[in-house]
Amino acid sequence: MAGSGTAHLRNPEDALLRVENLVVEFPVGRTGLKVNAVSNLSIDVMPGETLGLVGESGCGKSTMGKAIMRLVNAQSGSVRFEGTDLMALKGDDLRALRPKLQMIFQDPISSLNPRRRVRDIVREGLDIWKVGDKASRQAKVAEVLETVGIDPSVAGPKRPHEFSGGQCQRISIARAVATDPKLIICDEPVSALDVSVQAQILNLLEDMKSRYGLTMVFIAHDLAVVKNVSDRVAVMYLGKMCEFGNPDELFAHPAHPYTAALLSAIPEPDPEAHVKTRDGVGGEIPSPVAPPSGCRFRTRCPNADEQCANEEPQMREVRPAHFVACHHPIGDVTFLSAPGTESAAAPVPPAPAAWTPPVEETAPVPPAAPEPVAPVAMAAPIIETAITPPPAPPVVESLPEPPAPPAPVVAAAPVPPAPPVIPVPAPAPGAAESPWIASSPVSPDAPEVAPPTPEPSGPPPVVDWTPEAPAPAPVPEAPAPAPAAVAPEPPAAEAPAPPASEIPDVTSLDTLLPDRSKGGSIDPRR
Ligand SMILES: Nc1ncnc2c1ncn2[C@@H]1O[C@H](COP(=O)(O)OP(=O)(O)OP(=O)(O)O)[C@@H](O)[C@H]1O
Ligand code: SF4
Ligand SMILES: [Mg+2]
């Protein structure tokens, strides 16, 4: 990756959004240096399409989204929305387009003004644009809040701090759709949420998309999520584009070593699964202040050679509608176009907005990729991989068969640690006669409870906290044991169980992803 080019872009006439050669740089104090956050990045999105944008932290995903929204200034490039170049707009012309583009920000809580009430937050865009009269704006606020599952009469007067992260994200979504936008940039809308709420928000976004006819740019770390919500996927590394294609193709046949490394880092939900590790890539992400020459991924790529250091790879088609910026793509692919040429498949219409089947299969691994590729530093990688310095770059002349990989080191599948076993103390001698349990084995830190004063006429009272233990034996003729000292607290009145839809028993989002091809939705109770 880490290349440039526009070969993957489709017909500009058809695109709702077309970003070409976008460059965003931030100055580093007064040093004269700059952070190369986004460098010559090009993407396009067709109407009704969801473009998934993935890449590791700091690769420039949010910056690209903000630059599209004109929240940060780009140094060069063009952003065309419905054919209008947003970069050339100023003042009222730019403001007039703003309601059509909305963004859901990465942090659901801090993206809402803590001093304003929810109803005012959601209504703000309508007020600014003076959409309809006051009554119709209030009705719109109530409608969108209800649509995202928030009761407007209860939530409207409250402020954001009175809501959970998932509820705040719903309010953000309501605010984003209130102005009837055409494009929403979702910047990691679920990364701050637990897995069950993620499923609810993803379903909600899908519902919003079909209800309001939205087009979305979906930024995420989680490849499993991206695969299931996207019609096209773009992979970024250090401000540049690596690979572009439809999710099934890209996940089954990654042609870029970085994409393959990302895919190999997808955790397996099955603790018994046997996960292979791969040798090879390691090292640190280079600084965006001084990115490597040529291919920006070359310092971590096992296939890097001199060409990679000297020549920046350009996006080229390797399979129909599948593009990669790499001099030596992996897998069974061949270049279908010369570097720098536009795609033969450019006019391909957007993929139908259909959910891919649920992720029942194991984490996709390139089936025939011979290159040893280890997961790079990704969020929560499960596969343990030794960080090794990049091997000496092999001299590769032209699309050679890569060298046979060393025997893969197969590590035991990661098994979550067993729950701690809390030993139950062996009964002391005489325990049969005096089975007093001084403290609950499951509450070792509980304040010590003084044992009861033994009754002179009989054995001490029997209080057994273990569930299988028999009930305390009655002590004939003896007064009742001091219950205040030893009797367990009666169970606290249980709070009414929340609806199952709110507290699903799930451990992995993969189990929740819907079968879009069947029109299904995520069932958070699974
Ligand atoms: N306002 C800013 N000033 C200076 N540097 C910035 C600014 N915003 C972002 N950067 C830098 O630009 C690079 C890209 O940041 P960005 O937030 O776009 O990454 P990201 O891909 O969204 O990461 P994450 O997945 O962690 O959200 C980073 O190196 C970051 O430090
Ligand atoms: S083979 Fe070369 S061009 Fe391809 S990703 Fe590796 S370093 Fe970059
Ligand atoms: Mg970000």
**Alpha carbon of 385 to ligand 1 centroid (Å):** 26
Distance of alpha carbon 328 from alpha carbon 349, whole angstroms: 28
Q: What per-residue confidence (pLDDT) applies to 392?
A: 42
Measured by CA distance, the residue closest to atom 17 of ligand 1 is 62
Distance of alpha carbon 413 from alpha carbon 227, whole angstroms: 24
Alpha helices by DSSP H, 292-341? 306-310
Beta-carbon contacts of 138 under 8 Å, excluding residues fewer than 6 positions away, are 119, 123
**Alpha carbon of 405 to ligand 1 centroid (Å):** 35
**Phi, psi (5° rounding) for residue 60?**
110, 15
The residue to which tokens 């096209």 are assigned:
232
Ligand 1 lining (C-beta closer than 6 Å): 26, 35, 37, 55, 57-63, 106, 288
Is pTM, for the whole model, over 0.75?
no
**Ligand 2 atom at minimal distance to the Cα of residue 296:** 8
Backbone CA torsion sign across 195, 198, 203, 206: negative
Q: Label residue 22 left, alpha or beta by phi (over 0 means left) and psi (-120 to 50 means alpha).
A: beta
The answer to whether the CB of 372 falls within 8 A of the CB of 408 is: yes
Segment (H or E) for 94: helix 91-97
**Buried/exposed 130-146: b ≥16 CB within 10 Å, e otherwise:** ebeeeeebbebbbebbe
Give the count of alpha carbons within 13 A of 142, CB side only: 8
**Overall domain count for the chain:** 1
Q: Which two tokens stand for residue 377?
A: 């530093």
Q: What is the pLDDT along the chain (526 residues), one digit of tens a residue?
A: 456 789 899 999 999 999 999 999 999 998 999 999 999 999 999 999 999 999 988 999 999 999 999 999 999 999 999 999 999 998 889 888 888 999 999 888 889 999 999 999 999 999 988 888 999 999 999 999 998 889 999 999 999 999 998 899 899 999 999 999 999 999 998 887 777 778 888 888 888 888 888 999 999 988 888 998 999 999 999 999 999 999 999 999 999 999 998 888 777 667 776 655 554 456 788 999 999 999 999 999 999 999 999 999 999 999 999 999 999 999 887 888 766 555 444 444 444 333 333 333 333 434 433 333 343 433 333 333 333 334 444 433 434 444 444 444 434 444 444 444 444 444 444 333 333 333 333 333 434 444 444 444 444 444 444 444 444 444 444 444 444 444 444 444 444 444 444 443 433 444 444 444 444 444 444 4
What value does the CA radius of gyration of the chain take, rounded to a whole number of Å?
A: 29
Strands (E), 118-202: 183-187
Q: Mind spelling out the 3-state secondary structure of 362-383?
A: CCCCCCCCCCCCCCCCCCCCCC
Q: Which of 88, 34, 32, 99 is closest to 63 using CA atoms?
A: 34
Mutate to test the pocket of ligand 2, among 300, 301, 305, 330 (most ligand atoms within 8 A of CB): 301
Distance of alpha carbon 183 from alpha carbon 149, whole angstroms: 22
Specify if 387 maps to a domain. Answer: no
Q: Residue 243 is part of a domain; what is its CATH number? A: 3.40.50.300
The answer to whether the CB of 176 falls within 8 A of the CB of 139 is: no
Measured by CA distance, the residue closest to atom 2 of ligand 1 is 26
**Ligand 1 atom at minimal distance to the Cα of residue 65:** 18
Distance of alpha carbon 247 from alpha carbon 228, whole angstroms: 8
Specify if 174 maps to a domain. Answer: no
Specify if 463 maps to a domain. Answer: no
**Ligand 1 atom at minimal distance to the Cα of residue 63:** 18
Mutate to test the pocket of ligand 2, among 296, 312, 315, 326 (most ligand atoms within 8 A of CB): 326
Specify if 258 maps to a domain. Answer: yes
Kindly report the CA angle at 420 between 419 and 422, in degrees rounded to 5? 135
Q: Which ligand is nearest to the CA of 34?
A: 1
**Buried/exposed 454-464: b ≥16 CB within 10 Å, e otherwise:** ebeeebbbbbe
**Alpha carbon of 401 to ligand 3 centroid (Å):** 37
Distance of alpha carbon 10 from alpha carbon 506, whole angstroms: 39
Q: Which ligand is nearest to the CA of 316?
A: 2
Specify if 27 maps to a domain. Answer: yes
Q: Which of 518, 516, 525, 496 is closest to 200 using CA atoms?
A: 525
Q: What is the residue type of 412? A: A
Specify if 31 maps to a domain. Answer: yes
Distance of alpha carbon 526 from alpha carbon 519, whole angstroms: 17
**Beta strands across the sheet bearing 50-54:** 101-104, 183-187, 215-220, 50-54, 232-237, 240-245, 322-324, 316-319
**Ligand 2 atom at minimal distance to the Cα of residue 298:** 7
Residue 244, strand partner residues: 234, 323
Q: Which two tokens stand for residue 131?
A: 């959409």
Q: Which two tokens stand for residue 421?
A: 């076993």
Specify if 314 maps to a domain. Answer: yes
Measured by CA distance, the residue closest to atom 4 of ligand 2 is 326
Specify if 330 maps to a domain. Answer: yes
Q: Which ligand is nearest to the CA of 33?
A: 1
**Ligand 1 atom at minimal distance to the Cα of residue 38:** 14
The residue range of the domain holding 43 is 1-82+182-195+212-268+276-345
The DSSP annotation for 461-486 comes to: PP---STTSPPPPP-TTPPPP-HHHH
Q: Which ligand is nearest to the CA of 105?
A: 3
**Alpha carbon of 71 to ligand 1 centroid (Å):** 13
Helix (H, G, I), strand (E, B), or coil: what is residue 186?
Answer: strand
**Alpha carbon of 214 to ligand 2 centroid (Å):** 36
Distance of alpha carbon 60 from alpha carbon 196, whole angstroms: 28
Ligand 2 lining (C-beta closer than 6 Å): 1, 256-257, 295, 297-298, 301, 303-304, 308, 313, 326-328
The DSSP annotation for 18-32 comes to: EEEEEEEEEE-TTSS
Q: Mind spelling out the 3-state secondary structure of 199-268?
A: HHHHHHHHHHHHHHCCEEEEEECCHHHHHHHCCEEEEEECCEEEEEECHHHHHHCCCCHHHHHHHHCCCC
**Alpha carbon of 153 to ligand 2 centroid (Å):** 56
Residue 102, strand partner residues: 184
Question: For the chain, percent helix, then strand, then coil, each to nearest 5?
Answer: 25, 15, 60
**Ligand 1 atom at minimal distance to the Cα of residue 236:** 21
The answer to whether the CB of 449 falls within 8 A of the CB of 440 is: no
**Phi, psi (5° rounding) for residue 7?**
-60, -25
